[in-house]
Amino acid sequence: MFSSPFENQAPQPQEKWRLHVDWFVQDYQPQLAALVWGLQQEWGNDGTILGIDLQPQPHFIPCSPESLQTLNKRVGGRIQEILGIIKGADTNKETIILCIGGGQVKLIYFEAEPSPAGCFETHGQDIDKLITDLETVMAETIKLESATK
């Protein structure tokens, strides 16, 4: 019987944070889509994307195009593909967040149902409260030790 190399593989300790981020995103997709949509409107759709910095504890940060280019230069162009995905995203359908933890990056990318604008209508009445609520859940879901070991 053929076995896929992806089956039954436990994540390495330094990779656990990625799994925790996946679980968080899966559980809160509509709220994240609403937050990204609302912040993009506030930022004037200037190319700034939402980021999650896991240290010292998980919190949201804005990532300007300039800061992303600087990061790409610092890592020898290793996130060029991520920058291409970000640049080509259709923000009317797609939600993009860049997560930074343990000296690594993870691209969070999904198509929201309903659309990001529809998610915003449902969940985006108070962006500051939405940020606070999601950061609280992130702090409980994405354990620091998993991001640093």
Taking only the tens place, the pLDDT of each residue in 54-109 is 999 999 999 999 999 999 999 999 999 999 999 999 999 999 999 998 789 999 99
Structural domain span for residue 56: 31-148
Q: Which residue has the tokens 């240290």?
A: 55
- Whether residue 40 lies inside any domain: the answer is yes
Residue spans of beta strands (DSSP E) within the chain: 49-53, 59-63, 94-101, 104-111
Within 8 A by CB and 6+ apart from 30, the residues are: 112, 119, 122, 123
- Whether residue 18 lies inside any domain: the answer is no
- Whether residue 13 lies inside any domain: the answer is no
Please write the tens of the pLDDT for every residue from 80-93.
999 999 999 999 99
What's the total number of domains in the chain? 1
Choice among 7-16, 25-34, 67-76, 110-119 with the minimum mean pLDDT: 7-16
Residue 103 main-chain phi, psi, to 5 deg: 75, 15
The answer to whether 94 and 109 are in contact (CB under 8 A) is yes
- Whether residue 80 lies inside any domain: the answer is yes
- Whether residue 16 lies inside any domain: the answer is no
Rounded Cα gap, residues 100 and 98, in angstroms = 7
